[in-house]
Structure 1
């Protein structure tokens, strides 16, 4: 496996070379550290990766001259070779949060943290993942910037945010960028899958539809739909009374998705098996109807599928989705497309557990995106290993691959003096952080007696 790992890395070597500038060695050290180190900060990486240095790794991530976009684009093209295709492949858009205690990390703010289920101090990244069946790999990432950041030019400058990015972009805006970038990279997928954060944006759904992209987007149960074309119009003005009317209206009444579904008889639902899972066949009840959507702002209306999925034995657990798939698409096909987005959550879980996705020392814009690009490289390698060994080891997991790599990749061998030197350096940095905090909050800290480790 280590031989395939070296060969895999060699295909990315050019992303870290530019003229006389070459950080390929540091890139491979960082990538290895993401897999080998139990905690993926620079100090812990340097303790396990041979010939590495924490300061050099930090400089590589934050200041050296290489493009995270070039790496992400290469990952996207590689993922396309393995799981891309017009049939059965989906591009899944989702976000994940990274809890942060301070206020200096780029994009950090008090905002909704879906992982914790509450508003908390965190960063939010919007990601694109390409998948087919159970195989999925992250291929793009965009850091979401709340308005408290984009309205503060000095804060943006300190975090190294490029001038072109110092504008507020909604999460649906970032999702559209990811879809467009995937197409630029030649990525082949049949549909775009999204949760309700993105499905609630009628503008995003319209834009995708206009660009010829098929989507399956979750919506909340209070989403309003029309059972007939609302046919918006501007009422005729009364001569001589008031200003001319401009506001659109409709003779049709809208209804909330949840209320409409509650009124449907049991006979309207169809029991369908979507796929096999580790716990047996995934069987659900599905309900589908053609409905109309209108935002009450423009004269444009859309007729799309409303797909509802009810868990067997849990009649109140219902997922609602909109899709612009062809009118004659089968119910089972829509159900499978909706269910596929589950795998992006597995991709996040694997990336955080086995590739250090949430373990990073990256306060600035550039270093955050670079860390994510390298995590994607590691995940792409693991995807390929799982697919190569799918017949021999059908249950091969990212954890299995991580353990094997930890045993086969070169590891740093340290004697007692090396261990002592690293410990002293850690203590020096901790004390410097303590002293810095005390200087900001009060009188200067008393000098500390160095720790005696001579015995």
Structure 2
């Protein structure tokens, strides 16, 4: 993987075009940006550093990549990646050279900056999606949302509960000088005070929350309580504030609350916004499949080119997985990546059991999963939830 001369970006472009033929161009097609960490030992692997690793749920030695994933309903396919280089790597030019990092990439770039590159790349390669979705790491970056807005990309981004909003247009202006002495004011100032999202949402009556079904998850319909309001956002730098959608989601029977912002058209419904917000669920599943079934984290490669070659092959494998799910969705609607791997283990050399036995084992797994799904639906009925509930 280190010395082979093939261009991984040519592979990525082909994967994007093939994935778009399957998943792009629908009303619910979206591009989700997310990062994923891969634990590593030592200090030689390119980009490795002590940083947050979601897989471990803590700060540890790992490599972190930023990925773009094309989604349509429950079907997803990664179509792009960027390796995040921490500042400690950028500051050590010799270390970068030993890892084979091209000179043009020895420059610190934040994860939101890498995410913007992935959006531009996806569009340039023909991906057709209706919006860009991210978690709060990107949503908390005013520069990221500002750039997407300037690119005329619709976004649905999570934000932290401490995000400050305005309930009316802050109409930023430079205040007049109070006297002829001293420096004249030069910074814009809001004409009204902001408030934290969690504080304001906590003041809203229960009647403002609406119960709605946001998606058909692996174990039945996912019902949530949703609060929606148009609010103003100002980053303290732009000459004008933005009036965007605030969508707040509260899972039934849980205390966790998720806050998101979107620049979608003003007339969009709260149900549509809630479904857009829920789409990130399938991306987390895709990372699990990539790591557990497609070897995303199983490599012994230290250099820049080998990491990129490996990720390009993971993208190809994940595309194959979604192609099989769509191809056999009528015969095997519960077909998983694990099922596909089991069948490949038989079809490829060194098979130890018959294909008939492989299919029998798969059908047993599907029966158990179906029983679990049916049980979840029954529990929903007991709680008085149904598809027709407003």
User: Does TM-score exceed 0.5, indicating one fold?
Assistant: yes
Give CA deviations for 1:131-181 in whole Å, capped at 9, x if unaligned.
100000111110000100111111111111111110000000000000000
CA displacement at 1:297 relative to structure 2 = 2.4
* Structure 2 partner of 1:193: 133
Residue 238 (1) aligns with residue 175 (2): no
* Structure 2 partner of 1:340: 279
* Structure 1 partner of 2:308: 369
> Secondary structure of the residue that 2:79 maps to in structure 1?
strand
Q: Structure 1 runs of 4+ off > 6 angstroms?
A: none
> Secondary structure of the residue that 2:248 maps to in structure 1?
strand
> Secondary structure of the residue that 1:246 maps to in structure 2?
coil
* Structure 1 partner of 2:35: 95
Number of aligned residues: 352
55, 73, 79: which one aligns with 1:115 = 55
C-alpha spacing 1:298/1:277, structure 2 compared with 1 (3 Å) = closer
Give CA deviations for 1:213-263 in whole Å, capped at 9, x if unaligned.
110000000000101111111111234310111121112110111111111
* Structure 1 partner of 2:270: 331
Residue 134 (1) aligns with residue 69 (2): no
* Structure 1 partner of 2:65: 125
CA displacement at 1:411 relative to structure 2 = 4.3
Question: How far apart, in 2, do the equivalents of 1:328 and 1:312 lie?
Answer: 27
**Structure 1 gap segments, 5+ residues each:** 1-60, 414-455
* Structure 2 partner of 1:75: 15
Question: How far apart, in 1, do the equivalents of 2:125 and 2:218 lie?
Answer: 33
> Secondary structure of the residue that 1:62 maps to in structure 2?
coil
Question: How far apart, in 2, do the equivalents of 1:325 and 1:294 lie?
Answer: 17
Question: How far apart, in 2, do the equivalents of 1:287 and 1:175 lie?
Answer: 28
Question: How far apart, in 1, do the equivalents of 2:180 and 2:154 lie?
Answer: 48
Give CA deviations for 1:110-139 in whole Å, capped at 9, x if unaligned.
111122222111111000000100000111
Matches within 5 A, 1:276-287: 276-287=216-227
Question: How far apart, in 2, do the equivalents of 1:124 and 1:107 lie?
Answer: 7
Question: How far apart, in 1, do the equivalents of 2:313 and 2:272 lie?
Answer: 34
TM-score by length of 2: 0.88
TM-score by length of 1: 0.76
CA displacement at 1:412 relative to structure 2 = 9.8
CA displacement at 1:401 relative to structure 2 = 0.5
Question: How far apart, in 1, do the equivalents of 2:180 and 2:260 lie?
Answer: 47
**Structure 2 gap segments, 5+ residues each:** 353-390
* Structure 2 partner of 1:163: 103
173, 176, 181: which one aligns with 2:113 = 173
* Structure 2 partner of 1:393: 332
Residue 380 (1) aligns with residue 350 (2): no
196, 204, 210: which one aligns with 1:270 = 210
Q: Contact 2:345 / 2:351 at 8 angstroms: preserved in 1?
A: no
Question: How far apart, in 2, do the equivalents of 1:71 and 1:276 lie?
Answer: 33
Question: How far apart, in 2, do the equivalents of 1:258 and 1:117 lie?
Answer: 24
> How large is the RMSD of aligned CA atoms in angstroms?
1.2
Question: How far apart, in 2, do the equivalents of 1:237 and 1:158 lie?
Answer: 56
Give CA deviations for 1:365-398 in whole Å, capped at 9, x if unaligned.
1110110000110110111011000011000000
Question: How far apart, in 2, do the equivalents of 1:270 and 1:106 lie?
Answer: 48
C-alpha spacing 1:282/1:343, structure 2 compared with 1 (3 Å) = same
Moved more, 236-245 or 135-144: 236-245
Greater radius of gyration (CA): 1
Question: How far apart, in 2, do the equivalents of 1:153 and 1:230 lie?
Answer: 45
CA displacement at 1:410 relative to structure 2 = 3.1
Matches within 5 A, 1:183-222: 183-222=123-162
CA displacement at 1:86 relative to structure 2 = 4.3
> Secondary structure of the residue that 2:256 maps to in structure 1?
strand
Moved more, 293-302 or 363-372: 293-302
Question: How far apart, in 2, do the equivalents of 1:99 and 1:276 lie?
Answer: 32
Question: How far apart, in 1, do the equivalents of 2:317 and 2:256 lie?
Answer: 36
